[in-house]
Structure 1
Amino acid sequence: MKAIVYNKYGPPDVLELKEVEKPNSGDNEVLVKIHAAAVNYGNLVLLKGEPFLARFAFGLLKPKYSIPGGDIAGRVEAVGPNVKQYQPGDDVFGDLSGCGWGGFAEYVSVPENALAPKPSNMSFEEAAAVPMAAVTALQSLRDKGKIQPGQKVLIYGASGGVGTFAIQIAKSFGTEVTAVCSTRNVEIVRSIGADHVIDYTKEDFSKQTEQYDLILGTNGFQSISVFKRALRPDGIFVHVGGSGAQMFQTMVLGPWISMAGSRKMASFLQRPNQKDLIFMKELFEAGKVKPVIDRRYKLSEVPEAFKYFEEGHAQGKVVIIV
């Protein structure tokens, strides 16, 4: 089969399209013929081995996993004798980041709990855009942010993969959503449900006076003191993505701020979860959430897809057609 392979950390140019051995389904595994995959921030960490601490999970001197790619959608080709949830011909989607990656390939063999039935009203490309980003948005809002109906929620970095899902998920919980993005993304975030939009190229967010019950930071370089001022008493700021300095502040200063007052500052790391994938499947089938896809690339064009993605201006998701 064809797959994107690399054996050293570095820029997208270290990725190569090669012929590799097609996997077999183990006793507890599902062999999936991949129709589409997607690029995520986690893929970029896996590619570059940065930040350095990530190498303790991904390989200290060279990559532990030779085929990157986390999000997939495809069709079950074979199942192991102990698999109970799927059979050949089933359409599925899933997040492989917890079971060895391998999504940028024509086939992959994975544990059945890494997958969920593909939403019936979505194409393979749309479904591949979902798992990591949507579950990140769901877990950060619901589990870490304790989202409640009627709250005022702000999404900073609202036009990226996590941000576009976060807007829609927050609306599905019955909240009032404010999105922060640049001018080129204003119409996109409005079209998926944002009640209010702050264009950071025209308005200095650090000087705005509105306060929010929950702030989700998915991108940006603001000091966390800016987000603290924008929180209501008992409000929560959840850092999902952003600059290294912002992440460091949240991890080091956040606990002290949280202990010293009623406002909470927390960092968040998504964990693959089949139940949450199924929860998202139900939201998609109910028409409450839809993926925003910016660009599509062929499997042979994965290096170009990474180059575009690492520029940081993708509107929603970047999808790979296998």
Structure 2
Amino acid sequence: MKAMVQDRYGPPEVLELRDIDRPRPGADEVLLRVHAAGVDQGTWHQVTGLPYLGRLVFGPRRPRVPVPGMDVSGVVEAVGARVTGLRPGDEVFGVGKGTFAEYATARTVVRKPANLTHEQAATVAVSACTALKALEGVEAGQRVMVIGAGGGVGSYTVQLAAAFGASVTAVCGPAKLELVRGLGATEVVNYRQEELTGEYDLVVDIAGGRPFAQLLRLVRPGGTLTLVGSEEGGRWFGMGRAFGALVRRPFTRKRLRAPISIARPTALNRLSELLAAGTITPALDRTFPLGDVPAAITYLRDGHARGKIVVTP
């Protein structure tokens, strides 16, 4: 089968399109014929091995799994001995292992809604589960600000917050204003031209780069500041924002959260219901062919993606 393979950590260009053996599913896994695989910040971490703390999971010297990729949508080819509820021919989406390939194994997948294409479904698991985690506890009528609303996690956070009945102020750059306006936000703010003001029950900061003091001023007393992503903190640990929230918790009456999201079947099934009902819709920007994974990762890291991007074998 064709797959994007890396023998070492480095920039996206370390990936090469090669012919390798098809993987075999474990007892709790399914083998998928990949129709589309999502590209997110986690794939950049897999390829580069940064921050170095992540190599405890990815492999200390070289990648344990030479084919990166997590988000996936495809068709079940075979099932492991302990798999129940799925059979060959089922269309599924979720999180797999080595999804930048024609075939991949997966443990956390659920049936794909019939109204979604595989390209749309491949954008859901990582980003939408992260958005769900960031919005834990949000209630109808609350005011929510989403900073970084035009990216993968942001586009789902805006839609989900609006679906839960919140009034959403979405913050993004000028190139993504049109996209974000269509996601259900009550107000859209171009951060390059407008100051961030007001008080909110929940502020979800996905973009990073703003001082804690500025973010906390946006949170009402008793409200919550949720930090998504760990892009700050250097090449070694990359947990600067989460550590900063931990240090500040005892000194503020406002809640500080830096949750870690793991895609689970319960969350995927909840999202599947919302997607099937049309309550939320994947914001799909571009599709890249499998051999162009390095270009796709670079496109994402350069901040060009409006919503999500995927690759297709």
TM range (shorter): over 0.9
SS at match of 1:244: coil
1:213 matched to 2:201? yes
- Tell me the equivalent position of 1:6: 6
Displacement of 1:242: 6.3
TM-score (norm 2): 0.95
The C-alpha deviation readout for 1:62-96, integer Å capped at 9, x for no partner, is 11210000000000111233321101110000112
In 1, the alpha carbon distance for the partners of 2:104 and 2:242 equals: 35
> Which 10-residue stretch deviates more, 297-306 or 67-76?
297-306
In 1, the alpha carbon distance for the partners of 2:240 and 2:26 equals: 44
> Which 10-residue stretch deviates more, 245-254 or 232-241?
245-254
In 1, the alpha carbon distance for the partners of 2:82 and 2:304 equals: 44
Q: 2:211 aligns with which of 215, 223, 227?
A: 223
TM-score (norm 1): 0.92
SS at match of 1:220: coil
Q: Is the 8 A contact 2:123 2:284 kept in 1?
A: yes
Displacement of 1:249: 5.1
Q: 2:112 aligns with which of 110, 114, 118?
A: 118
- Tell me the equivalent position of 1:135: 129
Displacement of 1:149: 1.2
- Tell me the equivalent position of 1:266: 257
1:199 matched to 2:190? yes
What fraction of aligned residue pairs are identical, expressed as a percent?
38
**1:25 partner letter:** P
Equivalences, count: 310
Q: CA RMSD in A?
A: 1.5
Q: Which runs of 5 or more structure 2 residues have no equivalent in the other structure?
A: none
Q: Which runs of 5 or more structure 1 residues have no equivalent in the other structure?
A: none
Displacement of 1:255: 2.7
The C-alpha deviation readout for 1:19-53, integer Å capped at 9, x for no partner, is 01012333332111110001011100111111111
Displacement of 1:265: 1.5
- Tell me the equivalent position of 2:105: 109
SS at match of 1:45: helix
Q: 1:151 to 1:30 in 2, by over 3 A?
A: same
SS at match of 2:135: helix
In 1, the alpha carbon distance for the partners of 2:222 and 2:140 equals: 15
The C-alpha deviation readout for 1:94-124, integer Å capped at 9, x for no partner, is 112xxxx21101111233xx10100111000
SS at match of 1:69: coil
Q: Superposition pairs for residues 15-26 of structure 1, below 5 Å? A: 15-26=15-26
Displacement of 1:173: 0.8
Q: 2:285 aligns with which of 290, 294, 312?
A: 294
> Which 10-residue stretch deviates more, 78-87 or 43-52?
78-87
The C-alpha deviation readout for 1:102-151, integer Å capped at 9, x for no partner, is 1101111233xx10100111000000011100011011111xxx211111
Q: Is the 8 A contact 2:230 2:241 kept in 1?
A: no
